[in-house]
Chains A and B, each alone.
Chain A
Amino acid sequence: MNFAFSDDQNMLRDQAAKFLAARCPTSAVRKILEGEATWDKALWDGIVELGWTGVAIPEAYGGLGLGHLELCVLAEELGRVLAPVPFSSSVYLATEALLLAGSEAQKQAWLPKLAAGEVIGTFAVAEGAHQPTSRSLAAKVENGRLDGVKLPVPDGLIADFAVVMARTSTDAGARSASLFIVDLNGPGVTREAVKTIDPTRNHATITFKGAPAEALGGTGEGWALSEAVFDRAAVLLSFEQVGGAQTALDMAREYAMGRYAFGRPIATFQAIKHKLADMFVALELGRSNAYYGAWALASGSADLPVAAAGARIAASEAFYLAAKENIQTHGGNGYTWAYDCHLFYRRSKLLALTIGSAPHWKELLISRLEARNAA
């Protein structure tokens, strides 16, 4: 047993941290919050140049052929700085979907371009303010044409293509939907920005009217495939969440040490100390579950579905707790637009929802444990 990242992986982490410290200070994130741009194109170009978009893509498809552990390392660093780039959509979702379900021709067509940053991909499932279910799913594909409205689609304004979940059968049930690759620059697609709680990440409403759709994976496999893609993304996102939680905890600590009230640093008050101790405990539980998820993902373990759910639940909790209590620790300053606390608060809730909420994943986890027990 060896439950730590290797020296090489830690070296990668150091390089990533240095790069991001220089290229993605919170002022850069704030520019996205307040400016016209909805993502940091220059940062993205730097990331592509470093090859991060192809880290887990095999060399045969133009990637670096490292692995998912390396991707976890990068995810943690990106999460730490709230990088306003389409990394999660393109790398954890679209790329993973192609790796998982793509035909040889599809992999040849898309993976080298994804690795080289020539295209950005995303994954479009949600259709508004409710959990997508086999009864509610409205987008449908008939004769290779997609109709429907997806929102919010992460990085929907930026992406060149989307993997879209759409109905292929009029019945409800596990085999009612399939996945499709859709060219977002092609005909029958209109996109519009959608306002979310976290303007530092791009989101869109995408309307499809007879857009050409190419099947990814078999007919009727949409739900199963998207679950498998989300399991992978859950592990990778859990590292972003752990990174974000760590920064929020560090911010709270630093502020508490420097802020005086009643003649002493607020860091001397137990109510504050114990709050931060609880943030630390949640973070450690999140980190440890994320590590197990990373191992399960990288080793192709059959335990991935349980491990991924654990990582998702624990890391979502850790980041949200750290982000909201970081505001509390900052007092009135924490509630201002000018302080950075809200950037983490926004991102923590966004990430906790983006591939399904905690209650949804808790339900999944117990179902999976029941299935394992029955087996």
Chain B
Amino acid sequence: MDFEDTPEEAAFRAEARAWLEANAPSPEDARKMGRETTNEAESLKRAKAWQAKKADSNWACLHWPKEFGGRGATPIQRVIWEQEESRFAVPRGFFEIGLGMCGPTMMNWSTDAQKQRYLPKMLRGEEIWCQLFSEPSAGSDVAGLRTRCERDGDDWIINGQKVWTSGAHYSDFGIIVTRSDPTVPKHKGLTFFFIDMKSPGVEVRPIKQISGTSNFNEVYFTDVRVPDSQRLGKIGQGWEVSVSVLMNERLAVGDAPGPGFDEAFALAREVELESGPAIRDSNVRQKLADWYVQSRGLKYTKFRTITALSRGAVPGPEASITKLVSATNLQNIASFGMDLQDMGGSILDPEVAPANAIFQQALLYSPGLRIAGGTDEILRNIISERVLGMPGDIRVDKDVPYNKLPTGKA
């Protein structure tokens, strides 16, 4: 067991740090690259420029193979890079879905020519990708989706609606799972594609979130034509492809972004209560200690996982823990930070609220993190079933043809 860098790791860290110090944007510029800003077009432009700059020096997506612009880095190098990059707080939000989920899916399921065509541009941030899975009637139960695809010569015709599609409004491409055969049970009748978001018949309508911004969308498909060459996997194999995407999703989601222990600790040292600084209050100290220990626990769990990966293990469902714990903690820390600000805790104006109102903002966006990419409840199901080997939920819909399934109001 060794927590320190090996000489090679130290050299790699020094290289990463030197590059970042010479090239990373200032904190103010970095803030302007986030997804939750008021001027999204402007932040997108800045984020793309930063992504391209990273790509020029092979820092854009370290674990991807070199032939697509990656570095072929080891899992440990990837972590070292993330540690170094996190010191500069440069948001990665625009590219995460593409690089974390769509890219690996294309690597696994598309032709060599397609990989050459799409992956390098995705990596450079020139083309942005989104994930078109959820539908109004199919979220946790994504295999219950309704969007139809029908064969028409060398093409497929897609009709239906997706929802909650993050970034669809600025995406160039998307991966989509659709129903090709409603007469067989739901998991068996699915087929998977990647599509051009500019195709005729694709209509993107932003949805306003609790936070007031619109990062996700409804996407309508009306007779959208997709060439068969853009099918990923066999006809009817869409569920298998989707599962491979969701496995990557779990690896891709990291710690919930926003105020954590450090910010809560700093705030507690700043705020004055009647009895003195809040940090002297034992309730405050007890809570802070819990969050410290939990966030450290996640960090070291990740190191254990990385160690296992570098010894050839495959990523397991254990990674679900990170989002489950960190999203809940984020929501709690947000609320705690506001409590410390007492009567003024409700102020959302970043000019007035401490720490640019990160606690208030996090209160408003953290509920989304407990839902996106697998709800808390689904993650607990995954842990109990795939890690602990407990039985799956009783599936009343398992052997029933899709078009005979009961549906609710939604």
Binding site for B on A (CB under 8 A): 1-6, 69, 249, 253, 256-257, 264-265, 267-268, 270, 272-274, 276-278, 280-281, 284-289, 291-292, 294-296, 298-299, 301, 309-310, 313-314, 359, 361-363, 365-366, 369-370, 373
Contact of A2 among B307, B377, B379, B391 (CB under 8 A): B307
B289 touches A1 (CB 8 A): no
Per the 8 Å Cβ criterion, residues 275-297 of B in contact with A are 279, 282, 285-286, 288-290, 292-294, 296-297
Contact of B391 among A4, A268, A299, A366 (CB under 8 A): A268
Interface residue B318 (Cβ < 8 Å from any Cβ of A)? yes
CA distance in complex: A180, B324 (Å): 48
Contacting residues, chain A, for B388 (C-beta < 8 A): 249, 253, 273, 276-277, 280
A288 touches B383 (CB 8 A): no
CA distance in complex: A369, B292 (Å): 10
Tell me, rounded to whole Å, the shortest Cβ–Cβ distance linking A295 to chain B. 5
Per the 8 Å Cβ criterion, residues 17-57 of B in contact with A are none
B293 touches A314 (CB 8 A): yes
Q: Closest residue to A4 on the B side, CB-wise?
A: B307
Known: A289-B296, A292-B300. A370 touches B321 (CB 8 A): no
CA distance in complex: A309, B285 (Å): 14
11 residue pairs bridging A and B, Cβ less than 8 Å apart: A1-B3, A268-B393, A270-B377, A274-B381, A285-B293, A285-B298, A292-B3, A301-B3, A313-B289, A365-B289, A370-B279
Contacting residues, chain B, for A298 (C-beta < 8 A): 1
A276 touches B390 (CB 8 A): yes
Tell me, rounded to whole Å, the shortest Cβ–Cβ distance linking A305 to chain B. 13
Contact digits for B236-274, partner A, Cβ 8 Å, 1 yes 0 no:
000000000000000000000000000001000000000
A362 touches B285 (CB 8 A): yes
Contacting residues, chain A, for B286 (C-beta < 8 A): 359, 362-363
Known: A3-B300, A4-B308, A267-B390. A277 touches B380 (CB 8 A): yes
Most interface-central of A272, A278, A291, A370 (chain B CB within 10 A):
A291
Q: Closest residue to A303 on the B side, CB-wise?
A: B3
Q: Which of the 9-residue segments B4-12, B131-139, B159-167, B190-198 touches chain A? A: B4-12
Contact of B318 among A264, A272, A284 (CB under 8 A): A284
Interface residues on B, range: 35 or more
Q: Closest residue to B389 on the A side, CB-wise?
A: A253
Known: A284-B297, A310-B292, A362-B285. A4 touches B304 (CB 8 A): yes
Tell me, rounded to whole Å, the shortest Cβ–Cβ distance linking B253 to chain A. 15
Interface residue B394 (Cβ < 8 Å from any Cβ of A)? yes
Contact of A280 among B298, B303, B387 (CB under 8 A): B387
A281 touches B391 (CB 8 A): no
What are the 4 A-B residue pairs with the smallest beta carbon separation, nearest first? Answer: A285-B297, A362-B289, A288-B300, A273-B384
Contacting residues, chain A, for B142 (C-beta < 8 A): none
Q: Closest residue to A298 on the B side, CB-wise?
A: B1
Most interface-central of B307, B321, B390 (chain A CB within 10 A):
B390
CA distance in complex: A274, B285 (Å): 29
B380 touches A273 (CB 8 A): yes
Tell me, rounded to whole Å, the shortest Cβ–Cβ distance linking B1 to chain A. 5
Identify 17 new A-B residue pairs, CB closer than 8 A, beyond the known A273-B388, A274-B380.
A3-B300, A4-B307, A5-B1, A249-B388, A268-B391, A272-B390, A280-B383, A286-B297, A288-B299, A291-B1, A292-B300, A295-B1, A295-B3, A363-B285, A365-B293, A366-B292, A370-B279
A3 touches B303 (CB 8 A): yes
A273 touches B385 (CB 8 A): yes
Interface residue B76 (Cβ < 8 Å from any Cβ of A)? yes
Per the 8 Å Cβ criterion, residues 56-79 of B in contact with A are 76, 79
Contacting residues, chain B, for A288 (C-beta < 8 A): 296-301, 303-304
Most interface-central of A270, A314, A363, A366 (chain B CB within 10 A):
A366
Interface residue B130 (Cβ < 8 Å from any Cβ of A)? no
A285 touches B301 (CB 8 A): yes
Contacting residues, chain B, for A301 (C-beta < 8 A): 3
Interface residue B306 (Cβ < 8 Å from any Cβ of A)? yes
Contacting residues, chain B, for A268 (C-beta < 8 A): 390-391, 393-394
Contacting residues, chain A, for B154 (C-beta < 8 A): none
Interface residue B2 (Cβ < 8 Å from any Cβ of A)? yes
CA distance in complex: A5, B212 (Å): 48
Contacting residues, chain A, for B364 (C-beta < 8 A): none
Interface residue B325 (Cβ < 8 Å from any Cβ of A)? yes
Contact of B296 among A6, A267, A310 (CB under 8 A): A310
A365 touches B390 (CB 8 A): no
Contacting residues, chain B, for A270 (C-beta < 8 A): 377, 380-381, 393
B3 touches A299 (CB 8 A): yes
Tell me, rounded to whole Å, the shortest Cβ–Cβ distance linking B87 to chain A. 17
B76 touches A1 (CB 8 A): yes
Contacting residues, chain B, for A294 (C-beta < 8 A): 1
CA distance in complex: A359, B282 (Å): 9
CA distance in complex: A249, B389 (Å): 12
Contacting residues, chain A, for B79 (C-beta < 8 A): 1
B296 touches A292 (CB 8 A): yes
